[in-house]
């Protein structure tokens, strides 16, 4: 459950720290005091869209810190463990800078908004004051039934199967379209490959041809360069490298007799003489055996011409012909196996469709049972909220879209509010008060199925009168026996049913606005309930009424 809220520099809040208890806590205060800011702060911390305008004027940043007791929340500990986070606590922090940048943290570790949102789904659920408007959407009605029945894992399976089927269906269509065009394309590929195969291309051939061509084309120059090197090395009578090296070696050997430390230099010269001797042999061998056959050069030039011609035809470099051939072979193979690919994918599609139908039928049966049960619970709650003849029906209509990611049916909440009148979809209920009460009944009925420990009700009692508000308060108080319930309300009858009462106040100082909170003791609570009953002027009569309401807590 949510144990602590700490807020700094957020809108009208300078600094606020609040410790919360389990069971039902009510928040009251004058209109505009900042009650909704508390809910918005929680939503911001849990991943809602943030803006720089939330930062209090004159401050660099706003901070929201939430602390949760998770000792009994296995799902939260599992999530934290999977994300390598401390499992002994759950601290969520959101920082909003005045330039619009935001950062989120879980247990002190920077994280993403998406991660915070995932975690929050296990911690807290907010029933907003405009939920009855969202309830008019068909997908919201479906989601409420599925959440109530615990269908989310099964729905995830169905969604994945529907996505897989859609992907495979698209692949089959692509292959079928390719098959229609494959005849002409295959013929063209076979023709191109026949030309390439006729060349009998070899890996690395182009590079070898270029090297041989250069060697044969400039063979005479090559021989002259090597012969000149030989002359300089050994054949020049007046001056050659080897004879000079021998002279240097003899001179150092004489010096070595005087200074034995020069022995290393002598060894270097000896090694150099050996290496140069080996070089001379290799150069002579090369000159004697080099093949400068003009016919061989002509053959190589013809081969180069063939490859250039083919490369120009395909607008590529000659060295890329091998890669081109491999690509065309791969494409031809793919075209020639289109039918077998379609057969394979069709079998996969059939298997997925079978699995989808099995899961969807299971979902349909469970929905049918849950719809009947939920409708009965909503009906019971509606009749306690001054709609004594109200009857809820949850209708499952056949889904027209095949293999929908949401199963085989659409969910429609329908209501009969008066005897003798037909049941009609809640989207057609004209009375705002009736719709608010129906929405509240639905939320109360589904809230009891939540595995989430903390439920927040933000002015969900809007549009209901005193007697009904009292019943709403008792229902929320009853809900607080199993859940932590936070409720913002303007109704004294709802406020009187809280186990804990927090007053939200606004003050002004030096042209600045401050929102503050205060935990109310019993006497202060009676005064606040009296204010809510009678306005600014609190009479003895309103005080007695307030005492009576507070005394009705059970």
The ranges assigned to domains in the chain are 1-123+454-517, 177-338
Q: pLDDT tens, 316-336? A: 988 889 999 999 988 888 777
Contacts of 341 (CB under 8 A, 6+ apart): 175, 334
Secondary structure (3-state) at 407: coil
- The CATH classification number of 1-123+454-517 equals 3.40.50.300
Closest CA to 33 of 543, 508, 527, 498: 508
| Residue 445, pLDDT score | 83
Give the DSSP letter string of 204-242. Answer: THHHHHHHHHHHHHTHHHHHHHHHHHHIIIII-SS--HH
DSSP structural state of residue 423 = P
| Residue 166, pLDDT score | 96
Query: Residue range 107-114: average pLDDT?
Result: 94
Q: pLDDT tens, 276-332? A: 888 888 888 877 766 666 676 678 788 888 888 888 888 998 888 999 999 998 888
Query: Residue range 169-178: average pLDDT?
Result: 86
Under 8 Å between Cβ of 287 and 226: yes
Q: pLDDT tens, 428-458? A: 875 666 777 787 788 778 876 666 788 888 8
HSE-up of residue 12 (Cα within 13 Å, Cβ side):
21
Contacts of 358 (CB under 8 A, 6+ apart): none
HSE-up of residue 503 (Cα within 13 Å, Cβ side):
19
**Cα 480 from chain centroid?**
34
CB neighbourhood size of 429 (10 A): 17
Give the percent of the chain with pLDDT over 90.
34
Q: Mean pLDDT for the chain?
A: 85
User: 245 versus 323: which is more confidently predicted?
Assistant: 323
Which pair of structure tokens corresponds to residue 137? 């959407």
Which residue matches tokens 């409420």?
144
Query: Residue range 532-550: average pLDDT?
Result: 82
Alpha carbon distance 8, 100 (integer Å): 16
Supply the Cα-derived Rg of the chain in whole angstroms: 43
DSSP structural state of residue 272 = H
Q: Please check the confidence at residue 213 and state whether its pLDDT lies above 90.
A: no
HSE-up of residue 41 (Cα within 13 Å, Cβ side):
29
> Which stretch of 55-69, 94-108, 154-168, 412-426 has the lowest confidence by average pLDDT?
412-426
| Residue 449, pLDDT score | 67
Under 8 Å between Cβ of 122 and 452: yes
């Amino acid at each position: 459950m949510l144990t602590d809220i700490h807020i700094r520099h957020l809108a009208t809040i300078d600094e606020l720290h609040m410790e919360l208890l389990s069971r039902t806590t009510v928040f009251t205060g004058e209109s505009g005091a900042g009650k909704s800011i508390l809910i918005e702060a929680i939503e911001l911390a849990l991943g809602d869209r943030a803006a720089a305008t939330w930062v209090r004027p004159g401050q660099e940043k706003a901070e929201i810190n939430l602390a949760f007791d998770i000792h009994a929340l296995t799902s939260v500990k599992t999530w934290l463990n999977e994300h390598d986070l401390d499992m002994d606590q759950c601290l969520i922090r959101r920082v909003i800078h005045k330039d619009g940048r935001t950062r989120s943290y879980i247990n002190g570790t920077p994280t993403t908004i998406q991660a915070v949102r995932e975690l929050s789904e296990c911690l807290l659920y907010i029933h907003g004051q405009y939920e009855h408007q969202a309830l008019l959407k068909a997908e919201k009605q479906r989601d409420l039934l599925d959440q109530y029945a615990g269908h989310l894992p099964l729905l995830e399976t169905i969604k994945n199967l529907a996505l897989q089927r859609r992907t495979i269906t698209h692949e089959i269509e692509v292959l079928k379209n390719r098959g229609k065009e494959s005849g002409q394309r295959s013929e063209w590929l076979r023709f191109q490959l026949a030309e390439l195969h006729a060349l009998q291309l070899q890996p690395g051939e182009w590079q070898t041809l270029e090297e041989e061509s250069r060697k044969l084309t400039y063979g005479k120059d090559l021989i002259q360069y090597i012969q000149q090197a030989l002359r300089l090395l050994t054949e020049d009578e007046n001056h050659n490298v080897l004879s000079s090296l021998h002279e240097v070696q003899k001179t150092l050997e004489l010096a070595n007799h005087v200074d034995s430390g020069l022995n290393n230099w002598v060894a270097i010269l000896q090694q150099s003489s050996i290496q140069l001797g080996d070089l001379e042999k290799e150069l002579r061998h090369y000159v004697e055996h080099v093949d400068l056959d003009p016919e061989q050069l002509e053959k190589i030039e013809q081969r180069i011409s063939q490859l250039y011609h083919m490369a120009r035809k395909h607008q590529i470099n000659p060295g890329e012909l091998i890669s081109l051939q491999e690509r065309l072979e791969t494409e031809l193979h793919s075209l020639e196996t289109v039918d077998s690919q379609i057969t394979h994918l069709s079998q996969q599609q059939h298997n997925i469709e079978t699995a989808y139908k099995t899961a969807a039928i299971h979902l349909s049966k469970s929905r049918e049972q849950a719809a009947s049960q939920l409708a009965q619970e909503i009906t019971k709650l509606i009749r306690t909220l001054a709609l004594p003849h109200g009857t809820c029906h949850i209708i499952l209509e056949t889904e027209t879209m095949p293999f929908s990611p949401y199963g085989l049916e659409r969910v429609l909440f329908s209501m009969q509010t008066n005897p003798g009148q037909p049941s009609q979809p809640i989207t057609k209920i004209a009375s705002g008060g009736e719709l608010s009460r129906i929405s509240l009944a639905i939320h109360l009925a589904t809230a009891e199925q939540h595995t989430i420990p903390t439920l927040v009700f933000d002015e969900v009692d809007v549009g209901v009168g005193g007697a009904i508000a009292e019943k709403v308060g008792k229902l929320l108080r009853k809900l607080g026996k199993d859940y932590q319930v936070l409720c913002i309300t303007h109704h004294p009858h709802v406020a009187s049913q809280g186990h804990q009462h927090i007053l939200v106040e606004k003050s002004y100082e030096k042209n600045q606005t401050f929102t503050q909170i205060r935990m109310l003791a019993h006497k202060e609570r009676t005064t606040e309930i009296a204010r809510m009953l009678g306005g600014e002027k609190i009479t003895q009569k309103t005080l007695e009424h307030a005492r009576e309401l507070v005394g009705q807590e059970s």
